[in-house]
Amino acid sequence: MGKCRRGLGIMSLLYRRKLGTRSTVAYKNKELIKFTLSLVLASLSINLMLVTDRTVLGLYSLDSMNATSLGGNFVATVSFVFICIAEIATVFVGQYNGIKEYEKTARAPWQMIYLGLASFLFFIPLAIFCDCFNLFPKYLEKEGLLYTRILLAFGGFQIISIALSSFFIGRKQSYIVIFTFLLGNLVNIVLDYIFVFGIKGLFDPMGAKGAALATVMVEMMFNIIFAAVFFNKDNRLKFKTLDYKFRLNLFVDCLRIGFPISLGKFFNLLGWFCIMTCFINASKDIATLESFIMGIWMAFIFFADGTSRALSALSANLIGERQLGVIQNLLRKFLKANYILCAIYSIPLVFFPEIMIHFLDKAEGEITHLIPDLKFTLASLFIILVTDGVFYLYCGVLTAGGDTKFPTYLDISTLWGLVVIPVAFMYWTGSLTSIRPAYVLIPISGLINCVVIYMRYKKLLWYKQLVSKEIENQ
């Protein structure tokens, strides 16, 4: 996870003050680095909390790690239905900011705050009755259900924090995002260790329950900090952050644009949940490998996810100012940064996999029989990270213009058609005895995604404004 300093150096490649296309918008290198870094850290924050849970629990008990991996996948699957919609507020904030309608920038975040409050009506009943889904094998059921129920019961707070953060991200106000997420993750690491292992003489180890409580407490902290700045005097006066009116048209627009992304994320995560379920029920060795590989993926993918969100927010502002050439230049520089970072990832994943094997060996003990499969999946993971980075960036540009349905349908069709269904078939026929077939199919689906999304980008169907000075969402 310690790639922030490297990422900062790489980010200097992303933009130079003089672009090939003249623009009324002149992002300085320092400003762009700060803004993009804030989005990278936001993505890192979400992933790091999950990775921290799995890492600490892996040291506590491998069964706990596997239980939280499966439970965490289930929670993410249902949560991202709301999260992806809430993130769309960033696009509206960015476009209103781009056309200098500052008094309207807080309206979309407020609509998504209402979505977060309403989401409790979904999350709390789901937390109560989630045992009806038979999510866990018997040996993981106790810890897995407890972890899942705690995260679900407080799931609405994550939606509200996303809604509040969109106000800052859409306006490229990076300092509050950087501060909040760095502080939150430091607190989460400390709380995870204390709650999972306990403190002698004060309270017993809580295992998975402790990891869930730490995550919930940090999410609440995010909300408190974001809300304190959102409602400060300057923002109240300039951006009308007390304008809490429910605007049905704007709420529906957020749903309309965000739902395809939400649907795609749901089926994407549902696919991974199905794959993880097949692995856990097929073999404990395969389950351990998958939990470990997915932990590494979450630790490394934060850069691609963060830069995608940054590019989307910047593109939304530039679409508002009709600056196509600047968007295209930004995309090329973000892609270059992705390739450079993936070259760094190749060191522990391809050339020196022993670095990663050491961590699993420390938690698991004797893993000699897993090393050949682990080396294969680490090399496959490198290809996955490259293709995911490219796909995420192109999706970020398309999202800025509201073109969300096409990448959604593309991702769903390739994941389920090329990976989920074949893996499920192997499981039901009893032939799923190795993790390797899945990690041959996943990079193939990623390569197809990259080719097709590039063709869609070249058509410029995404290049359109969602808001204007003449027509106002009431």
Report the alpha-carbon distance of residue 350 to residue 346 in Å, rounded.
5
Token pair in block for residue 303: 């850069």
Give me the pLDDT at residue 228, please: 94
Report the alpha-carbon distance of residue 149 to residue 326 in Å, rounded.
46
Report the alpha-carbon distance of residue 392 to residue 304 in Å, rounded.
6
Report the alpha-carbon distance of residue 35 to residue 30 in Å, rounded.
9
Report the alpha-carbon distance of residue 462 to residue 401 in Å, rounded.
5
Virtual CA dihedral for 469, 228, 33, 184, nearest 10 degrees? Answer: -140
Report how far apart, in Å, the C-alpha atoms of 270 and of each of 144, 190, 262, 415, 416 are. Answer: 17, 31, 12, 10, 10
Give me the pLDDT at residue 246, please: 94
3-state secondary structure of 291: helix
Inter-residue contact 400 to 462 (CB < 8 Å): yes
Give me the pLDDT at residue 339, please: 92
Distance of CA 87 to the CA centre of its chain: 11
Give me the residues paired with residue 203 across strands: 199
Distance of CA 75 to the CA centre of its chain: 13
Question: If you search the block for the tokens 């290198």, which residue do you land on?
Answer: 29
Contact partners, residue 319, CB within 8 Å, separation at least 6: 95, 98, 327, 400, 401, 463, 464, 465
Question: If you search the block for the tokens 């869930």, which residue do you land on?
Answer: 212
Amino acid at 18: K
Q: Which candidate, 153, 179, 151, places its Cα nearest to that of 165?
A: 179
Distance of CA 159 to the CA centre of its chain: 13
Inter-residue contact 90 to 166 (CB < 8 Å): yes
> Other C-beta atoms within 10 Å of 20: how many?
11
Inter-residue contact 69 to 151 (CB < 8 Å): no
Question: If you search the block for the tokens 């607190």, which residue do you land on?
Answer: 187
Per-residue pLDDT of the chain (474 residues; tens, 9 = 90+): 333 333 323 233 333 333 333 344 445 556 666 667 666 766 666 667 777 787 788 778 878 888 888 888 889 888 888 988 998 898 888 878 878 888 999 999 999 999 999 999 999 999 999 988 888 888 888 889 999 999 999 999 999 999 999 898 888 776 787 788 888 888 999 999 999 999 888 888 999 999 999 999 999 999 999 999 999 999 999 999 999 999 999 999 899 888 877 887 788 888 888 998 898 888 888 888 887 888 788 777 777 877 887 788 788 778 767 788 888 888 998 899 889 989 999 998 999 888 777 766 655 555 677 788 889 999 999 999 999 999 999 998 988 887 878 888 898 999 999 999 999 999 999 999 899 999 999 999 999 999 999 999 998 888 865 555 444 444
Give me the pLDDT at residue 39, please: 66
Report the alpha-carbon distance of residue 315 to residue 403 in Å, rounded.
13
Burial of 63-82, coded b for 16+ CB within 10 Å and e otherwise, reads bbbbbbbbbbbbbbbbbbbb
3-state helix, strand, coil in the chain (%, to 5): 80, 0, 20
Give me the residues paired with residue 199 across strands: 203
Token pair in block for residue 440: 């041959």
End-to-end CA distance of the chain: give it in Å, rounded: 43
pTM, 2 dp = 0.73
Report the alpha-carbon distance of residue 56 to residue 407 in Å, rounded.
35
Q: Which candidate, 228, 380, 361, places its Cα nearest to that of 297?
A: 380
Give me the pLDDT at residue 82, please: 92
Question: If you search the block for the tokens 């679900």, which residue do you land on?
Answer: 152
Q: Which candidate, 123, 423, 435, 415, places its Cα nearest to that of 269?
A: 415
